[in-house]
Structure 1
Amino acid sequence: MEHSITVKQQEVQKRLADLTLQQSRLSMIPGFSGQINAGYSDGRTNDIVTNQYINQSIFNASGQLSMGGDIFNWFSKQNTIAANRLDAESNSFLLQKARNDLAFNVATAFLQILLKTEQVKVNEVQVHQTLSNLDNTKKLVIAGSVPESNQADLEAQLAQDSTNLVTAKNDVILSILQMKAYLNLGFDIAFVPEIPENVSSLPITPLGEMDPEMVYSAALTTYPLVKSDELRIKSADKTFRATRGQLYPALTIGGGLSTGYANNFYDRNMKLVPFGQQIDNTFNKNIGLGLRIPIFNGYQQRTAVSKAKVNVYNMQLNRDLDNQKLRQDIYTAHANAVAALQKYNASATGVMAAQKAYDFATKRFNLGLMNTIDYITTQTRLFKAQIDKVSAQYDYIFKMKLLEFYRDQRISL
C-alpha cells in the first residue's frame, strides 16, 4: 500500500478532488483586491493651473482597495460545493478500490508462486524417478537382461524431464518478479515468500455458501466502485442544478476605497499640496449592489444546462454498466469455481489411477515384461496427472478467493 504506484496515483486524484472542494467553499467568501499605481513623466504637459503646455517632470501615485461578492445566486455556488463534496467522497471510494485491487493482486501473485513451487516439486520427483530407473536399467544392460535401446530411451526421457524442471524453476522466478512489481520492490532485492506446509490448510469458504446472487447482493453494499458510481450520479445532479441556477439573476455587492497623489497638484497660492493632504482630499469610498440578469448569450447557458442534465443520465448508464459487469463477473467466477472443483476431484481420481498403473508398470518393467517406450508413457501419464491435480487445486483456490473478494472486498490466506 505504501509503495504501489497505482495507489499513489489514486491518492493524487483524491487530493486534487479535495483541493477542488476546498476552492469551491472558499469561493463563498467575498473577494478583496488591492492596487497601487505609480508613474513618472517628463516633457511637455498641460499645466493644470494656467492650462498651458509647459516642460515639467511629474510623479503621481494612486492606491485602491476593492471588494466584491455574491449575496444570492439561486444556490448555484451551494450546489457546486455539494457536487465537489460528492466527487471527493467518490474519489475516496476509488482510492479504497485501488487498495483492495492491489491486495487481491498480491494475494493472487502469492498463490501463483505457491503453484509454481508445487510444480517444481512434482518435476523434481519426476527427474528423481527417471534417474532411478535409468540407474537400474544401466545395471540390467550390463547384465544383458535388456537391450541398450532401453537405456537410450530413458536418457532421452531424463533430458526432457530436466528441461521441464528448469522451466518450472524459471516460472517461480517470473512469479516472484510479478510479486515484486506489485510491491514496487527493486528487482535486485531478495524476496523469499513463506510457503505453507499444506496448501489445503488455507481458509476457503465452502462453495455451497457462495450462491452468485447472494454474492452480488453483498457486493452491492461493499464494492467501492458501486458506491463511487452512486456518488457520481448525485454529483452530476448537483452540477445540473448549479448550471441551471446560472439562468437566473444574481445579486452581488461591491465596494472600494481609493486615493492618489501627484507632485504637480498646487493650491490657490501655487504651493504644492502636501502628500498627506492630497491623500486625504482624494480619499474616496463607494459601496453598491448589483443585479446581474442573463438575457441572451446565444443559448450557451441553456445548452450547458441540457448537457448537465444529459450527463446525469450518462452517469446512471455508467452505474448500470458497472453493476451489469460486476454481476456477470460474479456469475462467471462462480461457474469457473464449480468447474474447477469438478476438475480437481477428477484429477485427484486420475492421480490415484495413474499411480496404480505406474506401480504395476514399474514391477513389469523391472522384470523385463514391458518395453521402455510403454513404461515411459505410463510414467508420463502419472506426471501429467500430478501436474493437473496441483494446477486444478490452485485454480479452485483462485476462483474461490475471487468470489470471497467480490463478497467481502478482502482477502484471507
Structure 2
Amino acid sequence: MKKSIIIALLLCGVLVNAQEKKWTLLECVNHALENNISIAQSELDVNLADINKNQARSNFLPTLSANGSYSVNTGANINPATNQFENNTFRSVSGAINSGVNIFSGLANWKTLQRAKINKMASEYRLDKMKDDISLFVANSFLQILFNREQLKVLMSQNDVTKGNIENTQQLVDAGVLPRGDLLELKATDATQLQQIIAAENTLFISKLGLAQMLQLKDYETFDISDDDYGLVGGDILEKQATEIVEKAKEEVNDVKIAQTNFELAEKDLELQKTNYYPTLSGFWGYNTRWASTQLNPFTGEDIPFIDQLYLFDGTSVGVQLNVPIFNRFTTRNNVKRSKVEVERSKYLLEQAKIDLESTVYQAYNDAKNSKKTYEAALQTEEARLLAFEYAKERYDVGMSNAFDFNQSRIVYENSQSDVIRTKYDYIFKLKVLEFYFGLPITDLN
C-alpha cells in the first residue's frame, strides 16, 4: 500500500512538472529544428547528394560481372562445345567472367565527381537556409506571445485602476460631489475593458497555439513560454556600418551561397555536355568456358568429363574499344547550347541574389534604426501621457472635471502604453533579424 502511494505521488509530480514546463526561445528553436517535417525531407536530400557523390567516386572503378547458363536442348541445336549443329538431345553449360574499364571519356567521370561534390554542398546550403527560416519564424512567434502577454498585463492593470476609480467615484456620488452619470461612465469603461481583456486572452491563446503547432506539440492547453522578464537586447549591431553588415551577410546568409553553387553546377553541366564531343576509349577482359553432355573423346569414344571440358573449351579475350562520335543529329551541339543558356541564367540569378541580399540588409538596417527611434518616441509619449493622465485624475478626483474628459485622457494614456509594448517587441525582432544577417544567433533575448 505504501509503495503504491509513493508511485502515485511520483507520477503526480511528473505530471505537474510536465504541465509547468516553460519553453525558452532556445528550446523552441531546437525542438522545431529537430521535429520539422520540411527539415527532415531536406536532410534526406543531403543524404541522396552524398550517395550520388559516392557513386561518382565509384565510377572510376572497373566493372566485373559473371554469368552462367544451363540448358537442355532437343532437335537441331548448336553444340556450345563444338559450335556445330546436332540433331540430338543434349545438355549444355556455359559460363563467363567479364571486366571493363573506362580509359578515356573526355574526363566525364572526373567532372561528374566535381559536380556531385558541388551538389552536396548546395543541398547542405538549402538545409541551412530552411533551418534559418524556421528559426526566424519561431523567434517571431515567440516574441508575438511575449507581446500579447504584456498587452494582457497592461489591460488587466488598467482595469484594476478603473475598478479603484469606480469605488472612489461611488463614494463621491454618494456624498453628492459628483453626478451619477460619472459613475455610470466608469462602469461602462469597466465593461469595455473586460471585453478587451477577454479578446487579449484569446489572442494570447491563439499565438501560443500557433507556436505549439509549429513545434508539433499535442498538449496545446498547457503549452507556455518562460516567464522571464525580457528586456531590450543590445543594440550594438546598429553601431556598425551597413556596408560591413552587407559584406558579412554575403558570408553568412545561405541565399547567395545557394545561387553561387547553382551557378557552379550549371558550369559543370556545360563541361559534362562538352565531353560528348570526345571519343571514348575503354578496355575489356573476359573469360568463358562451356560443357556439353554429348561431347566425346575422339580417341576413346567416351564422354569427356565435366571438369575436363571446362578446361578444354575455355578461352579469354582482352582488348580495347574506341568509339568516335561522328554525327548524332546535332544532339550534342544543341545540348551544349542549352547548357550555355543555363549558365547565363544562373549567372544572372547569382547577381540578382547578391543585389536582393544587399537591398534586404539595407532595409533591415534602416528598419532597425527606425524601430529604435519609434520605441524611444513611444517612451517619451507614454511619459507625457502619464503626466497628463495624472493631472486629469487629480482634477476629476476634486470634481473639477467630468467623467468623459477623464476617460479620454485615460484612453490616450492606455494607447500610449500599448504603443510602447508594440514598438518594443518590434524593435527586438528587427534587431535580431539584423544580427542574423551578421551571423549572430537569434536565440538569445537577454
Above 0.5 in TM-score?
Answer: yes
The secondary structure found in structure 1 opposite 2:295 is coil
Letter in 1 for 2:314: F
Equivalent residue in structure 2 for 1:251, among 281, 298, 317? 281
**Residue identity matched to 2:43:** E
Greater displacement, 227-236 / 336-345: 227-236
1:240-319 superposed matches below 5 A:
240-268=270-298, 270-319=301-350
Describe the SS at the equivalent of 1:289. strand
Superposed counterparts of 1:6-405, under 5 Å: 6-42=38-74, 44-45=75-76, 57-188=89-220, 190-200=222-232, 202-205=233-236, 207=238, 209-268=239-298, 270-405=301-436
TM-superposition CA deviations, 1:284-312 (whole Å, max 9, x none): 21011011111111111111122222222
In structure 2, distance between residues paired with 1:74 and 1:214: 44
d(CA) in 1 for partners of 2:163 and 2:425?
Answer: 28
Q: 103-112 or 376-385, which moves further after superposition? A: 103-112
Q: Is the 8 A contact 1:226 1:323 kept in 2?
A: yes
The CA deviation at 1:119 is 0.9
CA contact (8 A) 2:212 2:220 kept: no
Q: CA deviation at 1:161?
A: 1.0
**Matches of 2:162 and 2:121, distance apart in 1:** 62
**Offset at 1:405?**
0.8
Kept in 2, the 8 Å contact 1:233–1:316? The answer is: yes
Distance 1:93 1:249 in 2: 36
Listed as ranges, the gaps of 5+ residues in structure 2 are 1-32
Corresponding residue SS for 1:197? coil
SS at match of 2:438: helix
Greater shift, 226-235 or 386-395, is seen at 226-235
Q: Matches of 2:134 and 2:42 in 1, distance apart?
A: 12
Alignment-derived partner of residue 23 in structure 2: none
Q: Which moved more, 1:70-79 or 1:170-179?
A: 170-179
Q: Name the aligned partner's letter for residue 251 of structure 1.
A: L
Contact 1:28–1:70, Cα closer than 8 Å, also in 2: yes
Aligned amino acid, residue 90 of structure 2: I
One-letter code aligned to 1:235: L
Per the TM alignment, residue 79 of structure 1 is displaced from its structure 2 partner at its CA by 1.0
1-structure distance, mates of 2:110, 2:85: 58
Q: Give how far 1:187 is off.
A: 4.1
Mapped partners of 1:52, 1:183: distance in 2: 75
Find the aligned partners of 1:134 and 1:327 in 2 and give their Cα distance: 56
CA contact (8 A) 1:210 1:334 kept: no
Counterparts of 2:289 and 2:132, CA distance in 1: 61
Offset, 1:255: 1.7
SS in 2 for 1:199: coil
SS at match of 1:383: helix
Partner-residue secondary structure (3-state), 2:327: coil
Equivalent pair of 1:354/1:382 in contact (CA under 8 Å): yes
TM-score by length of 2: 0.84
TM-score (norm 1): 0.91
CA distance in 2, matches of 1:47, 1:394: 88
**Letter of the structure 1 residue corresponding to residue 112 of structure 2:** T
State the shift of 1:246 in Å: 1.5
**Residues 162-217 of structure 1: CA deviation (Å, up to 9, x unaligned):** 121122223322333333344343344743322333513x333252x243222111
CA contact (8 A) 2:162 2:186 kept: yes
Distance in 2 separating the partners of 1:378 and 1:358? 5
Query: How far 1:47 moved relative to its partner?
Result: 9.4
Matched position secondary structure for 2:290: strand
Q: Give the CA RMSD over aligned residues.
A: 2.4
Partner AA of 2:218 in structure 1: G
CA distance in 2, matches of 1:163, 1:205: 41
SS in structure 2 at match of 1:59: strand
Letter in 2 for 1:30: P
The percentage of counterpart residues that share the same residue type is: 26
Cα distance between partner residues in 1 of 2:101 and 2:145: 62
Letter in 2 for 1:162: L
Q: Which residue identity lines up with residue 112 of structure 1 in the other structure?
A: Q
Q: Which region of structure 1 is more displaced relative to structure 2, 182-191 or 328-337?
A: 182-191
Question: Could you list the runs of 5+ residues in structure 1 that have no partner in the other structure?
Answer: none
| Alignment partners' CA distance in 1, 2:228 and 2:420 | 18
**Residue 191 of structure 1: SS of its match in structure 2?**
coil
How many angstroms does 1:366 deviate by?
2.2
1:113-166 alpha-carbon deviations (Å, 9 max, x no partner) = 222221111111111112222222333344444343333322222122112112
**In terms of mean alpha carbon deviation, does 180-189 or 67-76 score higher?**
180-189
Post-superposition offset of 1:82: 0.7
Secondary structure, counterpart of 1:252 in structure 2: strand
- Read off the aligned partner of 2:50 and give its amino acid letter: D
CA contact (8 A) 1:204 1:401 kept: no
Deviation at 1:69, TM superposition (A): 1.8
**Cα deviation, residue 46, structure 1:** 5.9
